[in-house]
Structure 1
């Protein structure tokens, strides 16, 4: 099986790697796991580390000349490599550690294919960089089609908040106009980005800096863009170097409404 990985295209590599990580996350769920302290209240578990090993095993076998940036193992491969894979083996570690199944496994080729696996729903979201699909446990493929119909907006409330006081997510939720148009959700995992791409959420909002090449966000951003979502920073500028956070909206009108709330008086 390992020897055949090199025959896969980039999308298939991303999907195979994400599934390998998801298998580990699912198998270790509910066990007493060692915690690896990262400081500031952040930590990883044995599941994070083992899932990353499984993902890297696939990527290295399929693309030995590519570099990899893993959340747990850091940067590996040649510094001059033309291609880099971004790996977040368990997005939602705190959820997972307390028995919450809302987690994601993220694998993305920088500027290319990407996959996000939901270990417990049995879904794998993928993109080849132009279109995006979800494959369910029954093997059925569905093209991702964003829609604002739910009116649900996921907002990341986890620190740090680098753009405060100019932007604070809690202020967005407190804005009277927000409740008139949307309903908030907080899942604390970038799985929410796949839901925007799939039409299960109207939008996703998070603070931060440049998230385009983040191991946490790259795969979800790629899916949203390929599905046709409007993706910008919280200032409306393109996501990228010098960027500020992320707004991924199902359509232009939802994005416009959210930007008007973010720029409102309650946002400083």
Structure 2
């Protein structure tokens, strides 16, 4: 890790956010990806801007981009994970919930990351040790908090563990309703919000090991001191996958208990009487 890498991550994410902001409200061409997914002109142009920043400074690094795929050899073990516009559907219908995400993975570890909010003009970033929010050139440390009781749920497919876990089922769980308040932002900006104390937690299913969407948010949460695991409480990116990011141990334990309830109900023997 070097200070140059963290500066580069912030600069690249902010370059993407600037493009996203400039295209907002314009007529956007859609590029269909299949299964209901699509990119827009803003996605493509924002990724181009991010890659230009990265390539100028780190020509020998590999890049995995949401729109352009994998480029570069990456023989030095460094790969930039780029999601130029997380929240495309929100953005396409003129909903200002989106982010530009950039993270550097060295070997198996994300060492620096940035998540830029194009509309609040905030950038959440980490040097791999501490996490910050930058606004108007000023950096403030991120402080997780469960005070809001707001839990963001990712309801978008795929659902690889749907037989035993589905985030949507948490919405009907009486225990969830008693303790928390659900939110569905539909952008991984909400993962950064857990690190920033604006959400008590975030829950999603899926294999996130090479996810350009989640790498930056997970790194931010880990650096800020959140509790971050998979949906079975296992180390993130292992086992059945998924993500439970929580502001504190109590919130994390409560979310895991709600997830275990689903597994018990789906069991042929029914819920565990204990």
Superposition TM-score tier, normalisation by shorter sequence: over 0.9
Q: 95, 101, 114: which one pairs with 1:100? A: 95
Contact 1:208 1:244 (8 Å CA) reproduced? yes
Residue 109 (structure 1) shift: 0.2
Contact persistence 1:21–1:54 (CA under 8 A): yes
Q: 2:231 aligns with which of 214, 234, 243?
A: 234
CA distance in structure 2 between the aligned counterparts of 1:241 and 1:60, rounded to whole angstroms:
31
Q: How do 1:34-183 residues align onto structure 2 when only pairs under 5 Å count?
A: 34-110=29-105, 111-136=110-135, 138-183=136-181
Aligned length: 260
TM-score, normalization by structure 1: 0.94
Match of 2:205 in 1: 207
Which consecutive residues of structure 2, in runs of 5 or more, have no partner in the other structure? 267-274
Where does structure 1 differ by over 4 angstroms across 4 or more consecutive aligned residues?
Answer: none
Partner of 1:190: 188
Equivalent-residue separation in structure 2 for 1:184 and 1:96 (angstroms): 21
With normalisation by structure 2, the TM-score equals 0.92
Q: Distance in 2 between matches of 1:212 and 1:127?
A: 19
Looking at structure 1, the residues matched to 75 and 164 of structure 2 have their Cα atoms a distance apart, in angstroms, of 38
In the TM superposition, residue 172 of structure 1 has moved relative to its aligned partner by 1.3
Aligned to 1:112, what secondary structure does the other structure show?
strand
Distance 1:243 1:112, change over 3 A: farther
